């Protein structure tokens, strides 16, 4: 009798897991999208801050440091602003 009860519980658990998986997948997809948008936002903000700090460093006479920070900001801006746009273009091309 115990063995039948364990088998019944196991089957019941499998049915619940199969029915609940789409809900978990939907929540996981939403969390991934939210996390991706947060990372992109942080990257965009830090790229702009890098450009501004590089310009300030150039204007107060720290040419070498200012150039490095400015170029890092420009590269970061190209990656964070242009990267998602390129991904969308490739999605449309290969859809």
Distance CA 32, CA 44 (A): 18
**Which residue range forms the structural domain that includes residue 87?**
2-93
Distance CA 94, CA 29 (A): 21
Query: Which DSSP string corresponds to the chain?
Result: -HHHHHHHHHHHHHHHHHHHHHHHHHHHHHHHHHHHHHHHHHHHHHHHHHHHHHHHHHHTT-HHHHHHHHHHHHHHHHHHHHHHHHHHHHHHHT-
Whether pTM > 0.85 for this model: the answer is no
Query: Which of 52, 83, 86, 84 is CA-nearest to residue 69?
Result: 52
* Domains contained in the chain, number: 1
pLDDT (tens, 9 = 90+) of the chain, 95 residues, equals 778 878 888 888 777 777 666 666 677 778 888 888 898 888 889 999 999 999 999 899 888 888 999 999 999 888 888 888 888 888 888 87
């Amino acid at each position: 009798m115990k063995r039948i009860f364990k088998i019944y519980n196991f089957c019941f658990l499998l049915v619940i897991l199969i029915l609940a998986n789409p809900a978990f997948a939907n929540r996981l997809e939403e969390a991934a999208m939210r996390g991706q948008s947060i990372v992109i936002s942080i990257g965009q903000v830090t790229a702009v801050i890098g450009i501004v700090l590089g310009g300030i460093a150039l204007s107060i006479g720290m040419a070498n440091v200012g150039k490095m920070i400015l170029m890092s900001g420009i590269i970061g801006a190209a990656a964070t602003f242009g990267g998602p746009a390129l991904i969308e273009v490739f999605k449309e091309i290969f859809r």
